[in-house]
Every structure is written in C-alpha cells, then in structure tokens.
Amino acid sequence: MTLHKITIAAFSVLSIAFHSQNKKQMARLIQNEFEFAEKQYKFLLKTVPQDKMPQSYKDGKLITKDISWWYSGFYPGSLWMIYEQTKNPEIKKEAERTLELIEPNKTFTRDHDLGFMMFCSFGNAYRITKDPKYKDIILTSAESLSTRFRSGMQAILSWDKMADFKSPVIIDNMMNLEMLNWASQNGGNKKLSEIAVAHANTTMKNHFRPDYSSYHVIDYDVNTGEVLGKKTFQGYSDSSAWARGQGWALYGFTMMYRFTKDEKYLIQAQHIANFILNNPTLPKDKIPYWDFNDPKIPNVPKDASAAGIIASALLELGQYSKGNEKKNYVDSAKQMLISLSSEKYQAKVGENGGFLLMHSTGGLPLNSEIDVPLIYADYYFLEALKRYKDWYL
C-alpha cells in the first residue's frame, strides 16, 4: 500500500471515529435534555391551575391563559413528547387531563390558531397512542378551521376585522395548514388539503420580498383578494424580518412539501432557510435576535422560541435536501440545539417556573413577553430534539 493510500485510510478511520463520537455526544445531550424536561414539567404541573394553560413566568409568578388562547396546545403537546421519551406516568396523566380540558376547542372558529391548539396537542397524543377518539377530535378541529377560508382571497382569514386591518392573513397561519393536510390524508374531507394548498400558494405569492424574507401581515380585500397593505403587528417595522415569522415561514413551507411533494414548496423553504442562515445579524450561536432588522442589534432581546422553530424546521428540511445544503441545515440546527441546551438559554431544575428555556420574546412592540420563558419555545425545542434523535442519530 502506498503512503498516499495509507494516509487516506487513516483519515477515513479518524473521520468515522469522530463522526461516531459526535453522534454519541448528541445522543447524550438529547437524553439529558428530556430527563431535564421531565423534572421541570413535574415541577410545573404542580403549579398550573386546573382550568388554565401555562403561558410564561415573570417576577416569580406563573402566567396562565384560558383554553381558547392560541398557546393552549403547546403544554399538552410538550407533555406528550416528554412522556414518549421517559414513559413517566405522572407526565402522561397530566397530558391526558389537559387534553380533556381543551377538547371544547374543537369547534372554535374565532381565529386561525386551531392548528396550534389542537394538532400540537391531540396530534402528538394520537401519534403516540393511536387512540381513535383523538383522531376524531383532530378531524372535527380541521373542519372548524376550514370555515375561516375565504374563497375571494384564496386564504384562511387569520383575525376578524381589526382597527388597522380589514382582512388580515399572518405568516403564522402557515403552521395551521399541517392539521388540514393531515386530516385530509387520514379520513377527513379532501377539500381540507385543497384549502391548505390554496392558502400556501396565496402566501407564497404575496408574503415574500425578493430576498425571501416575509412580511408579518398581508391585509386583503376579502372579496377580490386585492392586497391592501403589507404590514407588521409584532415585528420592528412593516419592512423588517421579524425572527419568529421567518421561522413560521420556513417550517410551514417545509411541511407543505412533506404533504404535497410539490417542488415549489421545497425550493421556497430552501430560499427562506438561506435568508435566515446567511443573515449578517444572525449571531455565532445561531439564536436570532427578535427581529433581523432591529437597528439596535446587538443591544436587543434574542428569541429562543424562534431558534427552536427554525431548528425543528431545518431538521425536516435536511430530510429533503442533499449534499452541502443538507449539511448546512442540519449543522445549523445542531448548533441551535447545543446553544439552547447551554446555561445561557436553559434554566436550572426547579427554576424559571418549570419552563425549559429562557430568553424568548413574544411581542416587543406590544411591550409583551420580553426576555421571558414561553411555552411554545419549549414545545419546538422538544420537537427539534426528537427530530434530531429520530433522523440523525
């Protein structure tokens, strides 16, 4: 054997050993994170009122909301993901209790958030248990959500008429299409997937700038579909790239490709991912500031929730990509998970009100939920950990 061949063989052995060690480290990290989550949520569940859902924690107080608030599905969904990994009966019991509490939401039609409320919760429950009653609730919920579709604008109306908006559609709404697609493919009406496709196409047409950043709110004429305004509600400005909104967009179009295998959704998701990952304001730890265009960066809050959403989406996008693109998406998501698992972003056991992550930002312009734990930050962080374990270990 020549020296050249020996060198290549040695390098190959070292590379395999390094890759194996790297996988072991991530497997250990993920196991530790779910064990930590089990301890934290056992602490949290003892403080949650029987008729409310946890939202955040501030100044030593747990902040909760009624079951019709859009957060209501994330706590039970997180519980189910923790139970799936740990098999702790106390966690399962609380997950089942909270599902019973939010079941009346299956006929909720006052806004677009039913996917968050019912698929993040009952979707995980059905995936894990295969209990048919959970499936029936999802199908009913999907039908309820479909009533907000407006054929004139070919989109699901996010909110009813508000002071500044006539018929607003927000980028967040892409997330709720998952329940429609799933329902359509699992015994529900085929019209549900048609609505999801129509909404995604309308969003792709009107929500994006040439650099593939997304506006937060598009205001429509509900009858003609004419765009009346391109605005924001939670971002820095109408023309800025609100970080969590970019995460919703990335996740939503990646998910649309999963269900439809329509190449245009994959290409759109890849463009969005490249905007996020190549953005000059994305920090080295890859936890974005609350808005990519806030001129006061780096002296502004970060948003751990955006990082969790983006990491989870990148891991799925990696499943549909190849070569250097796939490596970039997966490596970036991995860095986000490592960062979120560090002391900088993660609470200690028994602290932070029982929530996992610190430093999320809900609505800075609204002076709401700034640099606090948020229940959906925990949810997407757990989902990303599960996805990494299932797909990359």
Catalytic residues: 113, 172
Instruction: For residue 195, count other CB atoms closer than 10 A to its CB.
Output: 23
Adjacency order of strands within the sheet including 168-170:
168-170, 217-220, 227-231
Q: CB neighbours of 56 closer than 8 A, spacing ≥ 6?
A: 63, 353, 355, 362, 369, 372, 373, 374, 375
Question: What is each CA distance from 133 to 49, 140, 174, 197, 223, in whole angstroms?
Answer: 25, 11, 26, 27, 37
- Name the token pair of 13: 């052995």
Instruction: For residue 224, count other CB atoms closer than 10 A to its CB.
Output: 10
Angle at 125 between CA 180 and CA 340, to 5 degrees: 90
Whether the Cβ atoms of residue 376 and residue 78 lie closer than 8 Å to each other: no
Return d(Cα 216, Cα 218) in angstroms, integer.
7
Whether the Cβ atoms of residue 166 and residue 221 lie closer than 8 Å to each other: yes
Whether the Cβ atoms of residue 359 and residue 352 lie closer than 8 Å to each other: no
Angle between helices 263-277 and 191-206 (to 10 degrees): 40
Distance of CA 309 to the CA centre of its chain: 4
In 119-235, at which residue ranges do the beta strands (DSSP E only) sit?
Answer: 149-150, 155-156, 168-170, 217-220, 227-231
